[in-house]
Structure 1
Amino acid sequence: MRFRKSAWSELRPYGLLVAMMLGVCSASAWAASNTLPEPGPVRKVDVPVAQEKTLPNGLRVVVAQRKVTPLVTTTLYVKSGAEVDPAQLAGVANLSASLLVKGTATRSAPQLAQAADALGGSLSSGAGYDQSRIGITVTTPKLAAALDLVADAALHPVFAQEEIERERKQTLDALRVSLSRPDRLARLVAARAAYGEGAYGHSASGTPASLPRITRDDIARLHQTYYRPDNAVLVFAGDIDLDQAVALASKAFGEWKAPATPLPAAAATRGKSVLAPIIVVDLPGTGQAAVASVHAGIARNAAEYYPGIVANAVLGGSYSSRLNQEIRIKRGLSYGAGSSLDTRRDAGTLGASVQTKNPSAVEVVGLVLGEFDTLAHTLPPADELTARKATLAGDFGFGLETTGGLAGQVADLALYGLPLDELAHFVDKVQAVSGEQVCDFARMHLDRDGTTIVVAGDAKQFADALAKAYPKTERYLAASLDFDSATLKPVVVKPPAEKH
């Protein structure tokens, strides 16, 4: 589960337009309105408690019933994702999941899409870390037919070569665009710094080198190994009860058999980083620099989860949080600065991200580190804590308003081994977090010795000044990065010595 910046961050691409619109306000009007109103009382969130039953084949069926509208979201989750990609084959899990909707033994990709459209829905699939998924949202009367489509796509994909090549090309094209952006580059490098050679360290979507290496056999092998009922959870959210869901699931998935062989042993998800604490990625000619920090975080089921999400909310979880106040609002160095707490099954990260002008990169690095120190060593004021908790509660309630949002939250509980009534206690647990707990969390997870800072941009405008301020700096040319390597450098394989 990932607690990122709130919905305001979605407006960042329009930051200049917003700034121009705000410019029509007079200075006196701004001064008169620059005191924020007190947050209102926390709104009670009505959360259905999920119920579950496991089918004889091992498939776990989880249902969150809410009869507000005649809609149901159903999603099949396989409890394996990008972390099971084989070495040098980053992207296999994502390709395998994406191709589920591209044709089965009895339906072509267009036929699958047309069948879903006739039901008023659309099949979607993909993979992240810890899970692969395929699902659909339809009206209640159409659910049985929709679930048959989900089962057909999940259990009987053909992985046609032409569809593989089309998906590979689309993924490579999107990846090349991403790697031309300093923010995306910085995040990828930061992930390597956080996880090293661990299974969470590579890009879930693959790399420019790994994607061309992936064969149909690789894709089919991953599907055969991990797509099994005793490694899956079928989630329903909306206008359906447990008995109805179990009956539908038994019909659609009852013949799915678990193999006698156990799942492969899980690889270590976090390895030791071999990268410098300050990393410069040179992207010559780019107009902005991206600053990304990363620290070792926590697993989703960690005891300090709630102090962690409150600490993240104070640091950079919303427009009014500290990073954005200091970097954007006070100094105008960015259109937005924020942080995110990414919690996974076995590990996680706490990170911050800012985009700024190249010449401002060094100043922004100092400001980010300063906010880390302040949060770790100074109790947050009570009114600030109250406001950030209110934001968390509001975002939580907003995220549950759709059946898709409810299904996603319930799936997190099931995938990460948490009690199914956890959502009902979310707001109370957030409210119970103290300022001391926030400081304790920050001291443990924002320590400078455990911090990696990545700055991606036009290095000639900031690299020398950055190295002067932070001597333990290493520089890379963006075009030379090898994202399949924990060192970010190509692995040189020496030819065998000739025998004489």
Structure 2
Amino acid sequence: MFSHPAFELVRDERIADVDSQALLYRHKKTGAEVLSLVNSDENKVFGVTFKTPPTDSTGIAHILEHSVLCGSRKYPVKKPFVELIKGSLNTFLNAMTFPDKTAYPVASQNLKDFYNLVDVYLDAVFFPLLTEDTFHQEGWHYELEDAKAPLVYKGVVFNEMKGVFSSPDAVMRDLSQRSLYPDVTYGKSSGGDPKAIPDLTFEQFKRFHEKFYHPSNTRAFFSGDDDPAQRLDILDAYFSQFERAEVDAEVGLQPRFNAPRQLHGTYAGTKDADKPRDGMISVNWMIDPPADREEALSHGLLSYLLAGNPAAPLRKALTESGLGEGMTGGGIGSGLRQPMASFGMKGIDPTNAPKVETLILDTLAEIAERGFPSEQLEAAINTFEFSLRENNTGSYPRGMTYMFTALATWLHGGDPLAPLHFETALAALKDKAQGGHFEGEIRRLFLDNTHRTTVTLEADPEQGAREAAAEADKLAQVRAGMDEAAIAATISETEKLKRLQETADDPADLAKIPTLTLGDLDREIRKVPVETGEIGGARLFYHDLPTLGIVYLDLGFDLHVLPDELLPYLPLFGRALLQTGTSKEDFVALTQRIGRSTGGINQHRGLSAMQGSAETAAWFFLSGKAVADKVEEMFAIMGDVLLDARLDNRERFRQMALEEKAGFEARLVPSGNAIVDTRLKAGLTQAGALSERMGGISYLQFLRQLVGRIDSDWAGVQQVLETIRDTLFNRQHMVVNVTTDGALWNQARGEIGAFTERLPAVEQPLQQWPGPLAARSEGLVIPAQVNYVGKGANLKALGFEVSAAASVALKYLNTTYLWDKVRVQGGAYGGSSRFDLTSGNFSFLSYRDPNLLKTVDVYDGAAKALAAGVGENDLTRSIIGVIGDMDGYQFPDAKGYGSMWRQLTGTTDAIRQQRRDEVLNASSKDFAELAEAVAAVASHGHVVVLGGEAAITAANAQRPGLLDVSKVL
């Protein structure tokens, strides 16, 4: 059944742990290896992976990853990847560069769509066009627009990596890894160092593809419910076009250090002379490759035991030391042939770095000596086992986790099936756990391991300007070495690349990209079963779905009972419920109790505009999951958390506030577009203002003030926390959302009702909150070499009522005009527009953008692009893409939660069906209507920029008064 004439079947094994038949093949002609998992998962996954070890930091593998998706032999268009984004039902579509490999995974629930994706990707990696223009666009090039203009670098990866290295956390990760592996490929920056990227030549780039992108260097993977024979036919059609080759792609082993090493570095940042907290430290070890699945699990479990939650002893020792604001590193990673382990702190006084290093080593020695308490071992093992059995990967396709799990050994010549088994290894680990196994591992892996580096970083306020000047000097030297002919040639090349970028693909070539038809799409929405009612005085939503024996529970409390001034406390209040302990147990014991008895308990907030109303849906949720015989204990824990949390625990609360602040500051660069979007929408709707106050720049400012108030006015802070608890946790304004199968629901219903009835029942008046903040254009300054540029407005406030068909026009706008103008021509890593049909909020956003005013001008030209209309093929593709977004794959818990949230926001199934109908019936008329609305955004919208001071100052110099400037970091 599973044989194929072109492939040798190497292994045929049933793996119950992942509910799959595993078939390992070798292509007879080329030696390509294929792992084919046959199972019932409708979310089908394919991936092709190559060993691609770089020998320098020019980013060659990363630039190639971008470039192969820019046109191929069979699909000779400029951006087949974008055409798939526009017109596919994919549930995953991307590519990833790792320190030693490059992977190209896709996923879809639709079989025809899945095969389309597979074919485009296979043609892209094996037969890319790889023109010099593509190399310049995606990698780097000199840009010169006229003889008097300055010479500059442009390139998507070049600017992406400038953005990466604007993050202190990224600088620390890069330096820590490079410090451990100075003699092998892991000692290079695989993504590319912006200082080294311009050293890469097109000839080197081409040779890298010729060497490594060959079937003989291929690990191909399938998982899902598609035909296993068809998989092999598809692969052979490509593999058989090659002859076997000897590909030297081995990742060498780093020789061991005889003694630990120390390194010191800097990052572009600001210093506070009165209270220096700009330092970071990371203590790192190189670990021997795990011998088997048991040892790999042991690595993960040991990392969790040491630092996997706030009560873990190493993390607790660091956070309680007062030496820093938050922990960095998380233990032993699994992505490198010789794994890397790291523990450290951020937000330290750089002079205290030796104290942190000593604390880490002393704490490890103490744990190795005294051992882990049995309660902690039991909790960690249960948490690990629950996660392995549930295998809930969220929006990430489950098959992709199998692929990367297998690659951990497969890539380096090991058994790819071994990592997919966990039952036997976990059982053996359980037996060893109480016998001192992990204490011995701490000694072996850390204390007795001399292959260790300690890396310290601190801010250098002059570094950003110094690096910008060095780049300018380097470009000036290049320019000085050009004669008139070279200058003319560079201008000509710049113009040529721009012409190519602006030239539309031949419609005949575009038609070669495989696509579905509108007839392949479901006309009806996907409904989730829901039973509504009342339970114990609270509003009930129940979803009868298969959940593998797990009960998923969400307890929701309406935030409208709280006065407006208390809302910024909610994020830390939620953390305090789970991380301060109760009157009966400290937070360590509480954390262990949660780990022993549940699959996890967490808290979060939900905020959204209401359907057909200016009101806001605003809820606090406490969510948990447990197997049937642990449901009663889960409720007991949730009751203690809600009603008995130690909100008087000042020291713990201070630690959380510092962690929250440090974590937010670390997210500014990698999540800059999301922060800009939140800031924009604060001036558009009440829900936007609330999101900003509980998760935006305003929240960061609140945290900075709160850290001081904890010391100066703890009684006042504690009173606020207790007021929130006494007011919020009230079943009069509560919802209970349960997702599980019918049999478990019948068992758990009585316990849920009894639990709900124990909560207070006091009628609380609902508060009136202020509306949106005053909208204004802002420049938010951070030490970064790139910008995040946003512009937005509320279309309803501007007098426009657009239908769901606007999402089709936006899909087209994002994948054509904005992709071309902001990314391809502008050199930013990304550019997009977003529209929320419920609120009316519309925003443009860019990511890791070297430009500012040019990007704003692009936004202002979007209306003209939409007004130009759309061809029939592009319209169909865009409709398909939007339906794909609507029908994204979800696990049962997400289905149940999403159904409840739609009820709370007033989004009925009738409204959902109406929106789907509007999308399916979208026409050029909808493009014209959105063009009119977007023109109003150009005239009346406000701009928010998060970026470097020089860029923001220059923008205000060119357009005086455009941005109100304030420093964020």
What is the TM-score when the length of structure 1 is the normalising length? 0.73
Shift of 1:109: 3.1
Shift of 1:174: 3.0
Higher relative contact order (CA 8 A, sep 6+): 1
For residue 125 of structure 1, the aligned residue among 95, 100, 104 is 95
Matches within 5 A, 1:168-247: 168=139, 169-247=155-233
1:67 aligns with 2:40: yes
The aligned residue for residue 611 of structure 2 is none
3-state secondary structure, aligned to 2:361: helix
Which whole-Å CA distance do the structure 1 matches of 2:341 and 2:452 have between them?
10
1:162 aligns with 2:133: yes
1:263 aligns with 2:247: yes
Moved more, 321-330 or 292-301: 321-330
The aligned residue for residue 385 of structure 2 is 393
Which whole-Å CA distance do the structure 1 matches of 2:160 and 2:20 have between them?
38
- Whether the 8 Å CA contact 2:21–2:39 is kept in 1: the answer is no
Matches within 5 A, 1:378-417: 378-396=370-388, 397-399=391-393, 402-417=398-413
Query: Against the structure 1 CA distance between its residues 459 and 381, is the aligned structure 2 distance closer, same or farther, given a 3 Å change threshold?
Result: farther
The aligned residue for residue 454 of structure 1 is 455
Query: Against the structure 1 CA distance between its residues 366 and 378, is the aligned structure 2 distance closer, same or farther, given a 3 Å change threshold?
Result: same
The aligned residue for residue 102 of structure 1 is 70
Matches within 5 A, 1:432-451: 432-433=428-429, 434-435=432-433, 436-447=436-447, 449-451=450-452
Q: Which has the larger radius of gyration?
A: 2
Offset from partner CA, 1:471-491 (integer Å, 9 cap, x none): xxxxxx89999xxxxxxxxxx
The aligned residue for residue 343 of structure 2 is 352
The aligned residue for residue 28 of structure 2 is 56
Moved more, 448-457 or 409-418: 409-418
3-state secondary structure, aligned to 2:221: strand
Which whole-Å CA distance do the structure 2 matches of 1:112 and 1:219 have between them?
20
Offset from partner CA, 1:254-284 (integer Å, 9 cap, x none): 4331344x22374634146699733332346
The aligned residue for residue 474 of structure 1 is none
Query: Against the structure 1 CA distance between its residues 97 and 402, is the aligned structure 2 distance closer, same or farther, given a 3 Å change threshold?
Result: same
Offset from partner CA, 1:186-236 (integer Å, 9 cap, x none): 222222221112221111112123211112211111111111212112111
Offset from partner CA, 1:428-480 (integer Å, 9 cap, x none): 423432342212222122127443211212489xxxxxxxxxxxxxxxx8999
Which whole-Å CA distance do the structure 2 matches of 1:386 and 1:408 have between them?
28
- Whether the 8 Å CA contact 2:99–2:189 is kept in 1: the answer is no
Structure 2 residue identity aligned to 1:108: V
Matches within 5 A, 1:274-285: 277-283=261-267, 285=270
The aligned residue for residue 289 of structure 2 is 299
- Whether the 8 Å CA contact 1:99–1:163 is kept in 2: the answer is yes
Query: Against the structure 1 CA distance between its residues 98 and 389, is the aligned structure 2 distance closer, same or farther, given a 3 Å change threshold?
Result: farther
Structure 1 residue identity aligned to 2:95: S
Shift of 1:154: 0.8
- Whether the 8 Å CA contact 1:113–1:123 is kept in 2: the answer is no
Query: Against the structure 1 CA distance between its residues 90 and 347, is the aligned structure 2 distance closer, same or farther, given a 3 Å change threshold?
Result: farther
Query: Against the structure 1 CA distance between its residues 141 and 437, is the aligned structure 2 distance closer, same or farther, given a 3 Å change threshold?
Result: same
Structure 2 residue identity aligned to 1:159: L
CA RMSD of aligned residues (A): 3.2
Query: Against the structure 1 CA distance between its residues 103 and 455, is the aligned structure 2 distance closer, same or farther, given a 3 Å change threshold?
Result: same
Query: Against the structure 1 CA distance between its residues 123 and 401, is the aligned structure 2 distance closer, same or farther, given a 3 Å change threshold?
Result: closer
Structure 1 residue identity aligned to 2:177: A
The aligned residue for residue 754 of structure 2 is none
Structure 2 residue identity aligned to 1:109: K
Structure 2 residue identity aligned to 1:442: I
- Whether the 8 Å CA contact 1:53–1:246 is kept in 2: the answer is no
- Whether the 8 Å CA contact 2:216–2:244 is kept in 1: the answer is no
Which whole-Å CA distance do the structure 2 matches of 1:50 and 1:248 have between them?
18
Report sequence identity in percent. 15
- Whether the 8 Å CA contact 2:48–2:104 is kept in 1: the answer is yes
Structure 2: gaps spanning 5 or more residues: 1-15, 140-154, 272-276, 468-969
- Whether the 8 Å CA contact 1:193–1:273 is kept in 2: the answer is no
- Whether the 8 Å CA contact 2:258–2:451 is kept in 1: the answer is no
Structure 1 residue identity aligned to 2:418: E
Shift of 1:129: 2.8
Moved more, 298-307 or 176-185: 298-307
What is the TM-score when the length of structure 2 is the normalising length? 0.40
Which whole-Å CA distance do the structure 2 matches of 1:395 and 1:416 have between them?
27
Which whole-Å CA distance do the structure 2 matches of 1:67 and 1:323 have between them?
41
Structure 2 residue identity aligned to 1:91: G
3-state secondary structure, aligned to 1:163: helix
Query: Against the structure 1 CA distance between its residues 216 and 409, is the aligned structure 2 distance closer, same or farther, given a 3 Å change threshold?
Result: same
Shift of 1:421: 4.2
The aligned residue for residue 469 of structure 1 is none
Which whole-Å CA distance do the structure 2 matches of 1:66 and 1:267 have between them?
32
For residue 359 of structure 2, the aligned residue among 345, 367, 384 is 367
- Whether the 8 Å CA contact 2:270–2:460 is kept in 1: the answer is no
Which whole-Å CA distance do the structure 2 matches of 1:350 and 1:49 have between them?
34
3-state secondary structure, aligned to 2:264: strand
Offset from partner CA, 1:395-453 (integer Å, 9 cap, x none): 44234863333333344453244445435532442343234221222212212744321
Shift of 1:297: 0.8
Structure 1 residue identity aligned to 2:79: P
Which whole-Å CA distance do the structure 2 matches of 1:392 and 1:149 have between them?
38
3-state secondary structure, aligned to 1:398: coil
Shift of 1:337: 4.4
- Whether the 8 Å CA contact 1:281–1:457 is kept in 2: the answer is yes
3-state secondary structure, aligned to 1:257: coil
- Whether the 8 Å CA contact 1:59–1:233 is kept in 2: the answer is yes
Which whole-Å CA distance do the structure 2 matches of 1:419 and 1:228 have between them?
21
Which whole-Å CA distance do the structure 1 matches of 2:236 and 2:464 have between them?
51
3-state secondary structure, aligned to 2:402: helix
3-state secondary structure, aligned to 2:194: coil
Count the aligned residue pairs: 415
Offset from partner CA, 1:363-401 (integer Å, 9 cap, x none): 433332222223433322222122222333344423486
- Whether the 8 Å CA contact 2:250–2:412 is kept in 1: the answer is no
- Whether the 8 Å CA contact 1:336–1:355 is kept in 2: the answer is yes
- Whether the 8 Å CA contact 1:300–1:416 is kept in 2: the answer is no
Query: Against the structure 1 CA distance between its residues 384 and 241, is the aligned structure 2 distance closer, same or farther, given a 3 Å change threshold?
Result: farther
Query: Against the structure 1 CA distance between its residues 107 and 113, is the aligned structure 2 distance closer, same or farther, given a 3 Å change threshold?
Result: farther
Query: Against the structure 1 CA distance between its residues 364 and 194, is the aligned structure 2 distance closer, same or farther, given a 3 Å change threshold?
Result: same
Which whole-Å CA distance do the structure 1 matches of 2:328 and 2:336 have between them?
27
Query: Against the structure 1 CA distance between its residues 363 and 267, is the aligned structure 2 distance closer, same or farther, given a 3 Å change threshold?
Result: closer
- Whether the 8 Å CA contact 1:317–1:338 is kept in 2: the answer is no
- Whether the 8 Å CA contact 2:59–2:193 is kept in 1: the answer is yes
Structure 2 residue identity aligned to 1:48: S
The aligned residue for residue 902 of structure 2 is none
Which whole-Å CA distance do the structure 1 matches of 2:122 and 2:188 have between them?
30
Structure 1: gaps spanning 5 or more residues: 1-43, 461-476, 482-500
The aligned residue for residue 114 of structure 1 is 83
- Whether the 8 Å CA contact 1:127–1:133 is kept in 2: the answer is yes
